[in-house]
Chains A and B, each alone.
Chain A
Amino acid sequence: MGFLWYLTIRIGGALATIAAGSFLIFLIMHLAPGDPALAVLGESATTETIAAYRAEHGLDEPVLVQFVIWAKMVLQGDLGKSIALAGKFPISDLLVTRLPNTIFIGLYGLVIALVISLIAGTAAALRQGKLVDTVATGVAVLGISMPDFWFSYVLILFFALSLDWFPSYGFTPPGESLIGAFHSGFLPALAIAAPMAGVFARILRASLVETARREYVTAARSYGFAAPFVFIHYVFRNAIIPFVTVLGLQVRYLLGGVVIIERVFGIAGMGSLIVDGAFARDYPVVQACALTFLAIVLSVNLIVDIVCALLDPRRTR
């Protein structure tokens, strides 16, 4: 099985998942209590105006027909209009301003988590059972167990209010000022990164320790290769394969964290959009956000699968 074949199958699988997922999202929104027509027109609406609204928006059609209409619109880039949010403007406009902020904060947090975990996990594995290992493992457990909203407030209290290094609230979008985005996004990114860094570091440490016991590592030593060479090309090179796999699975939690962190730091992103949409019973908005989250998770999983396939020749060749 060649690499291209593998790629085709994975992309096909991702597309099938997104189709099935979008139908599920659509169905759940329909099963949710509350009539969208009533939500838009208000309590004072008459039976006639409601019926007229339903006919106009195709709400009287069977669910499957409605789904096909919606799916066609989505494929043309039309996610519908917001019912409740100010101005009732197209949701795609909302996404264009919100999505970059969330992706920026998410990637920022991911990079911070990766840098911390690569250093801490490797150091712990190399000094197994020593002080460095104990400290790194302890801090990792702390990072995993701290609630992210609480840690956010600790960061604000210390770095924003006491030291005044970073703003305590608000976010400069990367489109406005990239430096401003890195600066104002640092504390939220760090808050998202903390639990991920803890999980990543522990996984990397375990994977490195496990790989170091393999016979090929002993074989490499028996050829008299220098210790750093053995570590990089034999231990690390093979240990990152399971590490990258788990990393892909963690992205779901990253998105969950974003919802809370955006609230705490007042960032106009996807997380705050879906929360606002849910409170306002703005179904089209929630639906569009869920679909976007699904697309993000699937894209990340696809990227992770491709990276793993490139790292591990046993998967594709």
Chain B
Amino acid sequence: MSDVTLTLRNLSTGFKMGGRVMNVVREVDLEVRKGEMLGLIGESGSGKTVTGMSILRLLPENAVTEADTLDFLGIDLLKLSTEQFREMRGTRLAMVFQDPVGAFNPAKKISWHLKQVFERAGTKSPAHAERAKNWRASAIKLLADVGIPHGANVMRQYPHQLSGGMLQRTLIALVLVFEPELIVADEPTTNLDNIVERQILRLFRDLQKRLDCAFLYVTHDMTIAAVLCDRIAVMYAGSIVEIGPTKQIFADPKHPYTQGLLASALALDTKTERLQEIPGELPSPGKLPPGCLFEPRCKFAKPECRAKEPAMVDVGGERHVRCVLYGHG
């Protein structure tokens, strides 16, 4: 078995609302391995972003995250104090955001961002400290690596003067400064046009190969997951319903929801998040159905589906499905 970088066991995240906690993510088990890209897929509102943000403790103060295990390279992330966790962020655990334009401080130039990040990363190792000393030269080299040849010019600009594609490249450069062991990317190409999107996806592939890190890629787009990810975890209403290697899932989707997702991905413009192949809507976190969460929208639904939520079933070949069609686990 390859090295596991991140292990989640029974992770639940909710938000405090008027005295009670509304869970948005429930009982998630995941592993992200060194050198692999794991796709976390689902509709908007399925809890995939919240899962990613929970791992980095970036959610607002009213969020409550609980887990049996949250292990990062042998470090129990649950036991870290706020300050200890902050030390891990950036240097070892990094995040790439959905909206590259919104991820930059609008009052500061690109050079300012790079300088701060180089200085912050300088605490990680002597090599990083050396680069922080010559941060300007290091930054220009790094920008060239992510496909920005005139780095010195770009660094003189303010964020609003650059295109979304340029900013996303720069964000990737910032992550490269840190050389983290785990990267969580949250729909980082949703706001980009198709050609730029393809370029950025290639960049993510290169980035991951170069750092040989663990990569959790959050997206609603099956076609992106197909070209980018080694394994895929499908999320529905805050739970993982199917997980396995990308090729096998695409060749033979097991869960009815995954089948629907694939059918609509093949049939539709991938930029929209509405699923025409699957009737109905995602249940809201406050009003979850009693048994299987997908049962109200499932064309294979049986009475037993309503009795209790099915457990994860090991169907072989590193594949797991949460559906009674494949046994009861």
Contact = CB atoms under 8 A, between A and B. Distances in A.
A88 interface: no
Interface string A295-317: 00000000000000001111001
A317 B158 contact: yes
A222 B94 CA distance: 6
Contacts of B88: 224
A230 to B, nearest CB: 10
B51 interface: no
A203 B103 CA distance: 24
A219 B158 contact: no
Residue among B91, B103, B160, B174 facing the most chain A CB atoms (10 A cut-off): B103
B105 A216 contact: yes
A3 interface: no
Contacts of A5: none
B105 A224 contact: no
Interface stretch (A38-46, A73-81, A181-189, A232-240): A232-240
B97 A226 contact: no
Interface string B82-121: 0000111111001101110011111110000000110010
Contacts of A30: none
Contact of A222 (B95, B104, B108, B160): B95
Interface SS majority for chain B = loop
Contacts of A72: none
A215 B158 contact: no
Interface in A230-265: 233-234, 237-238, 241
A220 interface: yes
Contacts of B89: 221-224
Contacts of B60: 213
A51 to B, nearest CB: 65
A216 B91 contact: no
B56 A222 contact: yes
A237 B108 CA distance: 10
A214 interface: yes
A215 B116 CA distance: 17
Contacts of B160: 313-314
Contact of A215 (B90, B97, B107): B97
B161 interface: yes
Given A216-B104, A223-B174, A241-B107, 20 more contacts: A215-B103, A216-B103, A216-B106, A218-B97, A222-B56, A222-B95, A223-B94, A224-B87, A224-B90, A225-B120, A227-B86, A233-B105, A234-B105, A237-B105, A313-B106, A313-B107, A313-B158, A313-B160, A314-B106, A317-B158
22 contacts: A213-B60, A215-B97, A215-B98, A215-B99, A216-B104, A219-B103, A219-B104, A221-B89, A222-B89, A222-B90, A223-B89, A223-B116, A223-B174, A224-B89, A224-B90, A225-B120, A237-B107, A237-B108, A241-B107, A314-B158, A314-B160, A317-B161
A313 B99 CA distance: 20
Contacts of B95: 219, 222
B144 interface: no
Contacts of A226: 86
Interface of A: 213-216, 218-227, 233-234, 237-238, 241, 311-314, 317
A222 B102 contact: no
B174 A238 contact: no
B58 interface: yes
A238 B106 contact: yes
A160 B94 CA distance: 60
B161 to A, nearest CB: 7
Contacts of A223: 89-90, 94, 116-117, 120, 174, 178
A221 B58 contact: yes
Contacts of B103: 215-216, 219
A317 B161 CA distance: 8
Contacts of B104: 216, 219
B58 A222 contact: yes
Contacts of A221: 58, 86, 89
B106 to A, nearest CB: 6
A227 B82 CA distance: 10
A137 B113 CA distance: 35
A233 to B, nearest CB: 7
A224 B120 contact: yes
A225 B113 CA distance: 11
B105 A238 contact: yes
A227 B89 CA distance: 12
A312 to B, nearest CB: 7
A224 to B, nearest CB: 3
A233 B106 CA distance: 11
A219 B90 CA distance: 10
Nearest to A237: B107
The residue among A218, A220, A222, A241 with the most chain B CB atoms within 10 A of its own CB is A222
Contacts of A241: 107
A227 B174 CA distance: 19
Given A221-B58, A222-B89, A238 B107 contact: yes
Contacts of A238: 105-107
Contacts of B116: 223, 225
A215 B58 CA distance: 11
A222 B60 CA distance: 13
Contacts of A222: 56, 58, 89-90, 94-95, 97
